[in-house]
Every structure is written in C-alpha cells, then in structure tokens.
Amino acid sequence: MQRASRLKRELSILTTEPPPGITCWQNEDQLDDLRAQILGAADTPYEKGIFNLEIVVPERYPFEPPKIRFLTPIYHPNIDSAGRICLDVLKLPPKGAWRPSLNISTLLTSIQLLMAEPNPDDPLMADISSEYKYNKQLFLLNAKEWTEKYASQ
C-alpha cells in the first residue's frame, strides 16, 4: 500500500515538475512498470538524442532500488549492450549507495549526469572505457555516431 501511494506521488511530481530533459510515465496501467526518456545534454556526444529507458519497480520499493535499463542503444563505458547501467545509486549497500530517501526522479537525473560525465574507472564496457581514457576523439566520434543512428527521431 505504502509503495503504491509513494509511486503515485512520485509519478505525479515527475509529470508536473519533471527534471529538465527527462520524462517518465506508466507503461500501460502497470504502476510498477515505467518508461522514461532522457534527452542527451548539450555539448555531449548524446546531444539531440532521445534515449528510452525501462524502469521496473520491485515489490520492496523504496527499500530496494528500481531496476533501470536503456532500451535505446548507447555508446558509453558505464552502460552495456543490454542497456544495464553501472551506477552506485542503482545498487543496495554495501556495494551501492541506494537509500529509501532517493526517488525515481533522482535516479533519472543521476543517469543523465552519468551520460554527460562517464566514469571510466568503473566500467561495464572495458573497451569503450579505455577508448574514453586514451583516445577521447574516437570515443566522441563513436558515441555521436551511435546517437545519430539509434537515438535520433
């Protein structure tokens, strides 16, 4: 019950006051199955891209973080080909930083920040990470190409 009312409140805030460049909505009538879109930030290789994400809210939410993954392919050291995201706030302690005080809006904003500033020291994609570290021009070129190919409307 608590989970449902919290989710309804969070969705209502996401609808009325969404973070800049982020939208989130229910997938059909499932309260625990959400979709989100993140616009690629200006001055990043993801600029003008529209990235779709799937958010699955677990039974134990907010005591357990939602499972979020990219549906749109993205060239990024911290996001793998299945769309899984390596980000501490998406995992429970001790390895992660999830806390019940966080919400879906915060998580989506964190993902948006990760897109703009990858963390090559905690990669899911080792090859993309070393490209980001040692050949940034090539990384930027590849990321921009993928954005044009998969995330352009």
Instruction: Tell me which amino acid residue 59 is.
Output: E
Task: List, in order, residues 6 or more apart from 94 with CB less than 8 Å away.
Answer: none
Task: Quote the CA–CA distance of 64 and 152 in Å, as a whole number.
Answer: 33
* 24 a catalytic residue: no
39, 86, 115, 151: which one is catalytic? 86
- Given a contact cutoff of 8 angstroms between Cβ atoms, the answer to whether 41 and 112 are in contact is yes
Pairing of strands 67-70, 50-56: antiparallel
Torsion of CA 33, 1, 92, 88, to 10 degrees: 50
Active-site residue numbers? 86
